[in-house]
Chains A and B, each alone.
Chain A
Amino acid sequence: MVASAKLKRAQGRILAFRPYGLKMRDVVSNLSRRVNRDLHLLLQKRPTTIVRVVVVTSDRGLCGAFNANIIRRALEFIREREARGVKVEIGLVGRKGREFFRRRHWPTHAPYVDIFDRLTYEHGMEIAQAATEQYTKGMFDEAHVIYNEFKSALQQRVIVEQLFPIESLDEQGETGEKLGGSYLYEPDEHELLDALLMKHLQAQAFRILLESSAAEQAARMAAMDGATRNAGELITKLTLYYNKTRQAAITKELMDIVGGAEALK
């Protein structure tokens, strides 16, 4: 019951925020296909030697395969990149991911933990800000996030998304509009890109946190539902066994008494 109330709240938040986050992504992706990428550091592609992968897990357990799925995908990603000779760094959100990597003594960057209880836009801002700073300083050349997307109350989907440098979604244009024809900008291109890209990263970071938080609640509810059902079945089985055993014991005792009485005759 508590899980379903929490799910409802988390679901409401992501569904309300998603249009903004996705529109922002559309606008930026549309834009990034038109502008000269060298114009802005966050768009510029550079040769990749260090990849940052941010693994978004939950703070708490008992939510089914939620964290296992994420971590499995993350390990795949790391292996694949390392096979290509790229250095992979791990960034973390969520306590469960931290536990996993700490146990294996893998170096990670300062993890963000215990933020899902009180998720606010500031968290998105903070994470985006820190990541942008590190990216600008050249601490990594590419960054991906791995997180659970909230598809429905019954389904989560593991998503790998590139955050740095900012990519264009290579769809055939959201409405099939022709490309070409460059944009007019107000104020000038650089100022606008600065403001827009920063907002974009904050919005994406926040959206990803919300997605993960809603997906976690959904996964937990499903897991708890399953657990309740399993426990119910087990109780039925054990109650039957208990009653049978009790009956057998009583019967045996009765037989003893009857047998004893017979012998006294």
Chain B
Amino acid sequence: MAGKLLLEVVTPDHLLLSQQVDEVIAPGTEGEFGVLPGHAHFLSTLTIGDLRYRVGEVTSHMSVLWGFAQVTPTRVTILAEIAEKAEDIDIERAEAAVAKAQRRLEVGGLPSELKEAQISLEKARLRKKLAERARRSSSG
């Protein structure tokens, strides 16, 4: 296995990450995909999910909400609409968002509203999951 990958994550708000990594696993719309150095050129849309990247033995997580990934043999560029490192997620806020989205689903409404609520529930759950894991691994 030659070399490393340059992983860059940018969102409309800022350049979130630019780092040499050994492996990236990203949530593609048609399933997760893993990238090692020397990967073929590849372009994919991303869905709501957990982006993992490994440096040596350490794996870090990040929540990604939609976007694009461009893969070349030496780099992975993630253009996400929203992305957050797991350790930066505010767990209370994530929990509140889960509760709020669930309430909205229970109340019901127009199909478009329900769909929106479903999406925010998915987003909130993901963020909550990542935040909890980040907390466990830092305390444990």
Does A2 interact with chain B (Cβ within 8 Å)?
no
Q: Is the CB of B42 within 8 A of A19?
A: no
User: Most chain-A CB neighbours within 10 Å: which of B8, B43, B72?
Assistant: B43
B-side contacts of A182, CB under 8 Å: 41
Does A30 interact with chain B (Cβ within 8 Å)?
yes
B-side contacts of A196, CB under 8 Å: 43, 45, 68
Interface residues on A, range: 20 to 34
Does B118 interact with chain A (Cβ within 8 Å)?
no
Q: Is the CB of A20 within 8 A of B10?
A: yes
A186-B28, A186-B29 known; A23-B10 Cβ under 8 A:
yes
B-side contacts of A34, CB under 8 Å: 41
Q: Specify which of B11, B40, B70 is in contact with A27 (CB 8 Å cutoff).
A: B70
Q: How far is the CB of A29 from chain B (nearest CB, A)?
A: 11
Does B120 interact with chain A (Cβ within 8 Å)?
no
**Bound complex: CA of A199 vs CA of B42, how far in Å?**
18
Q: Is the CB of A20 within 8 A of B44?
A: no
Does A187 interact with chain B (Cβ within 8 Å)?
yes
Q: Is the CB of B12 within 8 A of A184?
A: no
B-side contacts of A30, CB under 8 Å: 70
Q: Which of B57-65, B73-81, B90-98 contacts A (4 or more CB under 8 A)?
A: B73-81
A185-B44, A186-B45 known; A175-B75 Cβ under 8 A:
yes
A-side contacts of B8, CB under 8 Å: 23
Q: Is the CB of A195 within 8 A of B41?
A: no
Interface residues on B, range: 20 to 34
Does A31 interact with chain B (Cβ within 8 Å)?
yes
**Bound complex: CA of A34 vs CA of B41, how far in Å?**
11
B-side contacts of A177, CB under 8 Å: 72-74
B-side contacts of A17, CB under 8 Å: 12-13
Does B14 interact with chain A (Cβ within 8 Å)?
yes
Q: How far is the CB of B39 from chain A (nearest CB, A)?
A: 9
Q: Is the CB of A181 within 8 A of B79?
A: no
Q: How far is the CB of A98 from chain B (nearest CB, A)?
A: 28
Q: Specify which of B44, B72, B74, B75 is in contact with A186 (CB 8 Å cutoff).
A: B44
Does A192 interact with chain B (Cβ within 8 Å)?
yes
**Bound complex: CA of A23 vs CA of B12, how far in Å?**
11
Q: Specify which of B14, B15, B73, B79 is in contact with A24 (CB 8 Å cutoff).
A: B79
**What does the 1/0 interface line of A179-200 toward B look like (CB < 8 Å)?**
0011111110000100110010
Does A143 interact with chain B (Cβ within 8 Å)?
no
**What does the 1/0 interface line of A5-46 toward B look like (CB < 8 Å)?**
000000000001101100110110011001000000000000
A-side contacts of B106, CB under 8 Å: none
Does A53 interact with chain B (Cβ within 8 Å)?
no
A-side contacts of B70, CB under 8 Å: 27, 30-31
Q: How far is the CB of A83 from chain B (nearest CB, A)?
A: 40
A16-B13, A186-B28, A199-B68 known; A23-B77 Cβ under 8 A:
yes
- Residues facing B in A191-220 (CB within 8 A) are 192, 195-196, 199, 203
Does A100 interact with chain B (Cβ within 8 Å)?
no
Question: Which 7 pairs, one residue from A and one from B, show the smallest C-beta to C-beta distance?
Answer: A186-B44, A19-B15, A184-B42, A183-B41, A20-B10, A27-B70, A19-B10
| Chain B residues in the interface with A (C-beta under 8 A) | 8, 10-15, 28-30, 33, 40-45, 68, 70, 72-75, 77, 79
| Chain A residues in the interface with B (C-beta under 8 A) | 16-17, 19-20, 23-24, 26-27, 30-31, 34, 121, 175, 177, 181-187, 192, 195-196, 199, 203
Residue contacts A-B, CB under 8 angstroms, 19 given: A17-B13, A20-B12, A20-B13, A20-B15, A23-B10, A27-B68, A27-B79, A31-B43, A34-B41, A175-B75, A182-B41, A183-B41, A183-B43, A184-B40, A184-B43, A185-B42, A186-B28, A187-B30, A195-B45
